[in-house]
A and B are shown apart, each in its own frame.
Chain A
Amino acid sequence: MSAHAIRKKKIRLTSLVHYLVLVILAIIVIYPIYFAFSYTFMTPQEVSTATPNFFPNSLYLENIKEVLATTPILRFILNSFIISIAVMIGEIITGSLAAYAFAFVRFKGRNIIFALFLATLMVPSEVTLIPRYLMMQAFGWMDTYQGLIVPHLATVFGIFLLRQFFMQLPKELMEAARMDGAGHLRIFLTIILPLSRPAIGTLGVYSFLNTWNQYLWPLLMTNSEEMRPVQIGITMLQDEEFMSWNIVLAGVTIALIPSLLLLVFGLKQLVAGITAGAVKQ
């Protein structure tokens, strides 16, 4: 065998090992999610065998039907959608306005205020949890949508992200608009916002996913079943003794679908957001 052929064989072998390692690691990483999906489609008999089953025998849909019929999961999902979409829109509005001001408008104290905003990134939400909770009680906002939405309508991460993006936009466009006599509001609405769709998309994906996946705040804020977002509703299902694994996991699967779809279609935006600031609340 020539040296060339040996070398070629060696390369093929290393890439084979490489793939083998990757496949094993991929199976480990994906298994917990696969487990939830596969158990959703298994019959109660398949689940209660002595050794765990890895593949459902058929696409058994009764678990999904049962979790939809016997638990308010659709209500939980609806609550989560209402809260996440409201927070997402709010964060985009407040964030883009403030980012525009910090990037393009000259006003007194701009730098100090911006620094003060950035300083809030050092205060984890757990630190302010107790007074926020007491405030919600005083407002009578416990167990309401506004209690779950309003405290999260502004995000310094969003302002930071959008400001960075705004400042990279070509200055000539703004100057041309100003020569046409456009004011700040018009420049903001007709030039900056349309050009910033990628950054706004990043913030949108990011804030939707964060809100959808929240746990501690909605746990404290909701008492009644009909106000619970899906993350809290699902964990309450699991607390009920009589619930079988399939039913709980069918609920988990339903709760997972929106976030997984978001990952499939918004991974690029998500990665952009993470690498811009790498802040996960």
Chain B
Amino acid sequence: MAKNQNVLKSIPTLTPALNKQRVKPRPFHKRIEQIIGYGFILPTVILLSMFVFYPFLQSVYLSFFMTDPLGNIVGFVGLQNYVDLFTSKEFLGSLKTTFLFAIFTVPTGIFISLLLAVLTHNKLKGMRIFQFIFALPIAMSVGTSSIIWLLLFNPTSGVLNYLLNLVGLESIQWLTDPNWALVSVSMMTIWLSLGLDYIILLAGLQAIPKELYESAKIDGAGSFRIFSKITIPMLSPTIFFVLIISVIQALQAFGQFNILTGGGPMKSTNVFVFSLYQEAFVNFQFGLGSTRAFVLFVIILLFTWIQFKFGEKKVHYQ
């Protein structure tokens, strides 16, 4: 190589070509490249193996075993845990409650955040303040929000019953009436997840090209027509995306149930993760708990797959 360079240098007309070749950086040494690559991902590989891959396999494994309260395996039971689970009234009830919870929270939450996004997507004065306010719940944790709402739901001195009484309605036992408890937790959850849904939908609105609106206006379309013929179709991938992540979040809800209702009254708010928590960390049935965990994984995988299958092509991430 060095020899060749000397030869080339001796021919004046070829020097520029040589320089040009030198502009292209030399590739890194192959073995060093391998070492650097593995070295850089090593911390993540170790952490994910320990805290995601291994526990995931262990969870599947445990779901076929009986365990003692310390988590030690007592005996192989095969599919018995799964048979027990799907014949358990408590579990089927909790599945039903979870889906009800998703039905209560997801469509209403998306409708409200869409309304807020549409109302604040314009150049009117003060919109940034409103945008900040509607994004606020994103900063709220499930812990502090639950405490606040626990006091708002208070049957004697809470503000919700005060407002009901003000308009002549009777007080509601928000968290202790089995007919109301799930609705109440749903109200609080809609509020809590409003910030996230709102931010995503507003970003989706902002990504719609302005030219579309302008040409529609020139064609004389009214604002309702513009909304139904341009905004909604253009926004539908984003709405679909919010729909799927909201369903998945509803399936994972735990904190608000643990603080507000403790799964009661009469198991009326015994949602999936709450019942998993009870089984594993109150009854210390880690095997049965893992069975629930695996079922949860399959259900969530199904929704992720739906998102992937039907949403991916159309969703433009900004």
Contact = CB atoms under 8 A, between A and B. Distances in A.
A146 to B, nearest CB: 12
A156 B300 CA distance: 18
A234 B141 CA distance: 11
B21 interface: no
B255 to A, nearest CB: 4
Give me the 5 closest cross-chain CB pairs, A-B, nearest first: A107-B37, A213-B141, A128-B55, A231-B143, A101-B40
Interface stretch (B88-96, B100-108, B177-185, B287-295): B287-295
B136 A30 contact: yes
A117 interface: yes
Interface in A255-281: 255-256, 259-260, 262-264, 267, 270-271, 274-280
A255 B142 CA distance: 12
Nearest to B145: A32
Contacts of B58: 131
Contacts, number: 264
Please indicate which of the listed interface residues B200, B203, B248, B293 has the most CB atoms of chain A within 10 Å of its own CB: B293
Interface stretch (A1-9, A63-71, A176-184, A194-202): A176-184
Nearest to B26: A178
Interface in B247-300: 248-249, 252, 254-255, 258-259, 273, 276-277, 280-281, 286, 289-290, 293-294, 296-297, 300
A163 to B, nearest CB: 11
Interface string B38-79: 101101110110111111101100100000001100000000
Nearest to B115: A25
A130 B241 contact: no
Contact of B142 (A19, A106, A132, A213): A213
B119 interface: yes
A26 B134 contact: yes
Given A128-B59, A130-B280, A151-B51, A249 B40 contact: no
Interface residues of B, number: 94
A179 B252 contact: no
A131 B290 CA distance: 8
Contacts of B249: 280
B135 interface: yes
Contacts of B53: 120
B140 A33 contact: yes
Given A126-B273, A128-B55, A137-B71, A184 B28 contact: yes
A251 B196 CA distance: 25
B51 to A, nearest CB: 4
Interface stretch (B8-16, B147-155, B209-217, B228-236): B147-155
Interface residues of A, number: 95
Contacts of A214: 141
B120 A130 contact: no
Please indicate which of the listed interface residues A110, A264, A271 has the most CB atoms of chain B within 10 Å of its own CB: A271
A170 to B, nearest CB: 14
B147 A252 contact: yes
A115 interface: no
B25 A175 contact: yes
Given A274-B199, A275-B318, A235 B147 contact: yes
B290 A209 contact: no
A134 B200 contact: no
Given A122-B301, A128-B59, A256-B144, 19 more contacts: A25-B115, A48-B157, A52-B162, A98-B44, A107-B36, A127-B56, A135-B55, A212-B141, A215-B143, A216-B254, A234-B147, A249-B147, A252-B147, A256-B139, A271-B135, A275-B200, A275-B318, A277-B317, A279-B245
A15 interface: yes
Given A35-B148, A36-B148, A267-B132, A122 B120 contact: no
B191 A29 contact: yes
A22 interface: yes
A129 B293 contact: yes
B130 A26 contact: yes
B242 to A, nearest CB: 8
Contact of A107 (B38, B43, B55, B290): B38
A167 interface: no
A123 interface: yes
21 contacts: A19-B126, A29-B191, A32-B152, A52-B162, A110-B37, A120-B48, A124-B296, A126-B276, A127-B294, A131-B55, A135-B55, A154-B51, A179-B25, A219-B258, A234-B144, A234-B147, A252-B144, A256-B144, A267-B135, A270-B138, A275-B199
